[in-house]
Structure 1
Amino acid sequence: MSANAQPRRARMSRLKRTLVLAGTGAAVLAVPLVGATSASAATTATTASTTVAGYPNNLDGWIRESLAIMAQKGIPGSYDGIYRNIMRESSGNPNAINLWDSNAVAGTPSKGLLQVIDPTFAAYHVDGTSWDPYDPVANITAACNYAADRYGSIDNVFGAY
């Protein structure tokens, strides 16, 4: 077919082409957002679980459960002091482990939310909590017990301890 015999495409203004392309891009972007919303809802349902003691199974719940145990045992400390130290030590990751500092080189890496080494965890373990140093409540409570003995309270700790 000769060039003259081929059907012509309708001319589209530059603005119209831009809007069509932008509209196509927005549709493509909307698909992942819809999926992300659904995935987020599923994640919320998972993190909405509670601990055995009935606290939310998240950082806020672990701190509050630890504070309740600490109050029963006479261990001083505040939510803000615990939270501040957790953010500095592990950024809220209960599975954090330090494999590079002097403790790790000596074979006893710091573990958990408040980066406690095993000998300190064992010495300052609080009855009624797990013996697992990665257990968030056990880690917080043992670390606060240590800080209370050493510094008067976790509230008095503003750096590595």
Structure 2
Amino acid sequence: MAGVSALGVAALTFSLVPSNADAEIAPQAAAAAAPVAFTNATGTAQAKTVQNSMIEQHSTAEKLVKAADAAKAKAAAETKAKAAKAKAASEAKAKAAADAKDKAEKAAKAKADAKKRASEKANRSTARKPVYANNLDGWIREAMAIMKKEGIPGSYEGIHRNIIRESSGNRWAINNWDINARNGVPSKGLLQVIQPTFDRYHVAGTKKDLYDPVANIVAACNYAADRYGSMDNVNSAY
């Protein structure tokens, strides 16, 4: 377009100059016309438009790169946050499982310890339980242990003294000649107790056998305590 404009100007110039001056004016017209092609307003505007377009494209590209970098950074941060959250949840779950296991182990240990202590206590009680001799001395001592527990008074001396007088220490002794015998209820055992008296003063935990030495002593002492205050106070037939 610049070239066409220049040619138009040149043609106009040649048409206004006389023919005899063509050779002189032509070089001047060509020289004057040449700069017009480069100073044309349309050409300058086009050059500026292209430049602005390139600048805008460059700015848009920069914005796109920045947006992509921001999106990438955001995605990386979200991925990192999710990983941290998952790790925390996993650690919390593992800790809860470990705590539950530790609690269960402690409970099991406490239960085992309690069972062991109970067993040891039972063994100690069994070990401490006295073993009484199967003779007059052992029968009296065992009877006195029961009497102490039941709150029945009586000393070793008082019990032994009355046993010797009543039966001479014979657990199978029986009186078949006194009034009780004539009434059909003979006195029996170490302390010569009749059956009705034994039944009434029998102490739970002893055998229900009038001839059993321990049961005989305990029942007789229980009766003596009720009637005389204690077997120690009995010095004759009672």
Which stretches of structure 1, 4 residues or longer, exceed 4 Å deviation after superposition? none
- Residue of 38, 48, 68 corresponding to 2:145: 68
- Aligned twin of 2:198: 121
**1:148 alignment partner, SS class:** helix
Deviation, 1:56, is: 0.2
- Residue of 189, 192, 217 corresponding to 1:112: 189
- Aligned twin of 2:237: 160
Structure with more relative contact order (C-alpha pairs < 8 Å, separation 6 or more): 1
Q: Distance in 1 between matches of 2:142 and 2:193?
A: 18
Q: Which amino acid aligns with 2:139?
A: W
**1:97 alignment partner, SS class:** coil
- Aligned twin of 1:148: 225
- How many pairs are equivalent? 110
Q: Distance in 2 between matches of 1:155 and 1:136?
A: 18
- Identical amino acids, percent of aligned pairs: 73
Task: Give CA deviations for 1:6-30 in whole Å, capped at 9, x if unaligned.
Answer: xxxxxxxxxxxxxxxxxxxxxxxxx
- Aligned twin of 1:12: none
Deviation, 1:54, is: 1.8
- Aligned twin of 1:95: 172
Q: Distance in 1 between matches of 2:208 and 2:175?
A: 19
Deviation, 1:55, is: 0.4
Q: Distance in 2 between matches of 1:120 and 1:53?
A: 29
Q: Which amino acid aligns with 2:142?
A: E
Deviation, 1:53, is: 6.2
- Residue of 158, 161, 175 corresponding to 1:81: 158
Q: Distance in 2 between matches of 1:54 and 1:125?
A: 22
Q: Distance in 2 between matches of 1:100 and 1:130?
A: 27
Q: Which amino acid aligns with 2:186?
A: P
Q: Distance in 2 between matches of 1:158 and 1:148?
A: 13
- Residue of 130, 135, 144 corresponding to 1:58: 135
Give the alignment's Cα RMSD to 1 decimal: 1.1
Q: Distance in 1 between matches of 2:131 and 2:195?
A: 27
Task: Give CA deviations for 1:28-73 in whole Å, capped at 9, x if unaligned.
Answer: xxxxxxxxxxxxxxxxxxxxxxxx9620000000000000000000
Q: Which amino acid aligns with 1:152?
A: G
TM-score for the superposition, normalised by structure 2: 0.46
Task: Give CA deviations for 1:126-159 in whole Å, capped at 9, x if unaligned.
Answer: 1110000000000000000000000000000000
**1:159 alignment partner, SS class:** coil
- Residue of 201, 204, 208 corresponding to 1:131: 208
